[in-house]
Amino acid sequence: MPNLRAFSLVTFNLYNLNLPGHSMYRDYDGWSSEQYENKIVWTSYMLHLLQPDIFGFQELWHEDALTAAFERAGLLEAYDILTPPHHDGNKIICAGAVKKGLLEETPEWIETFPEKFILESAGDDPQTPDISVKISSFSRPVLHFRIKPREDRDAVSVFVAHLKSKAPTAIYREGWYRDEYDYYKKHSETLGYTLSTIRRSAEAAALRMILLDKLKDTDQSVIILGDLNNSQLSDTLNIMTGQPRYLHGLYAGGGDVDLYTVATLQEYRSLRDVYYTHIYQNIRESLDHILVSQEFYDNSRKRIWAFDGMEIYNDHLADEDHKNTGTNDHGIVKATFKYAPA
C-alpha cells in the first residue's frame, strides 16, 4: 500500500475517442484510419507528458481506443484503466485511469438521478407560477471510484462527470416543433439553449445530492474531475460547490459539504487569471474543472492535502482543425496536492 507524499489529478476531454469507422452522433462514417492514428499519436503524447496519479476522461466511445493510447504511451502496465465492461463504441462515457496500487473496490457508473430527486414547486410568492421539470438520468453516466493514496488515511471518493453541453438542444424532431414549423424555426436556438441549460442544471443538482449524501457529517474526502460545461462562477458550478467562502485565516475555514475549485485556489497563487480550457467564437472559457472537498483546501481546519499548483495544457486550442490533426477541442487541467495535514 503506497504512502504518497504528493499526488496529482488530471481532467482530460478525449474529443470523441473511438475506433476508426465507428459512427458517432450523426457522423456515420466516424474517424478515418488516418484521423484515428493522429488522435492516438497526440493523445498518447499527452498521456506520457502528464502521467498523474489519477486521470478523469470524458468523451470516450471505445475502450480499445483508450487502451491503444496508453499502450502507445508506454503506460499500459502502470495504470488501471477504468471503463465499463465491453464498452464497444455504442455510446459516450466518462472513464478513468489510476496508477497501480491506488484503486480500491470496483468502479461504478451512475446513470440515474437519486430516487428522491424532485424539481417541482408552486413558487415562493403569489406572483410566481408553478414549475415542474421531469428528468431522471444523466446525459453521460458519472464514473465513481475510490482511491487510497495513504495507508494511514481513509480512501478518497473520485467522481468523473460530463454535464450537458452549452450547445442548443436540437428540437427539430419534436412533434410540437414540426406541427408549427414556420413559427418555431425562428425560436429553435433560443429554446434549444434553454433546454440545455435546464438539463445541465438538473444534472448538477443531482450530482450535488449524491455528493451531499457522502459529505454530510462524514469527513469523507471527495474529488470531482470533469467537463462541467460552464465557468467556475456560473450557476451550474455554484450548485455543485455550495459557493464556499475562501480567504479564511490559516486553519480557520472549510465547510463540511463545500467543494473548492482548483481554478480559484490557483488564482490566489497568481497575479493574473489566465485560465481557459475552451474557445468558441473567440470567447475563451473555463469549462473543465477539478473540485475538491475541504480535506484539500489549504485554509481548512480539516486539511489533509495542501494545494501545490495547477497547470493548464491548452496551446492546442489554437488549432482549428482538431479532426484532422488529432488534437482535442478542450484544454487539459492538472492539479497537484502534497500531504500536509493541518
Mean pLDDT, rounded, of the chain = 90
Which DSSP category does 300 fall into? B
Q: Quote the CA–CA distance of 256 and 259 in Å, as a whole number.
A: 9
Q: Quote the CA–CA distance of 163 and 228 in Å, as a whole number.
A: 5
Q: How many residues are there in the chain?
A: 342
Q: Quote the CA–CA distance of 107 and 109 in Å, as a whole number.
A: 7
Q: Give the domain 6-339 fold.
A: Deoxyribonuclease I; Chain A (3.60.10)
> Would you tell me how many other CB atoms lie within 10 Å of the CB of residue 76?
14
Which DSSP category does 123 fall into? -
Q: Residue 236's Cα: distance from chain center in Å?
A: 12
Q: Determine contact, residues 287/227, Cβ cutoff 8 Å.
A: yes
Domain ranges of the chain: 6-339
Ramachandran region, residue 69 (left: φ > 0; alpha: ψ -120 to 50; beta: rest): alpha
Q: Give 99-150 pLDDT, tens digit per residue.
A: 999 999 999 999 999 999 999 999 888 888 999 999 999 999 999 999 999 9
Ordered per-residue pLDDT tens for the chain, 342 residues: 679 999 999 999 999 999 999 988 888 888 999 999 999 999 999 999 999 999 999 999 999 999 999 999 999 999 999 999 888 878 899 999 999 999 999 999 999 999 999 999 998 888 889 999 999 999 999 999 999 999 999 999 999 999 998 899 999 999 999 999 999 999 999 999 999 999 999 999 999 999 988 777 778 899 999 999 887 778 888 988 888 777 655 556 677 778 888 888 888 777 655 677 776 666 677 789 999 999 999 888 899 999 999 999 988 888 778 888 989 988 999 999 999 998
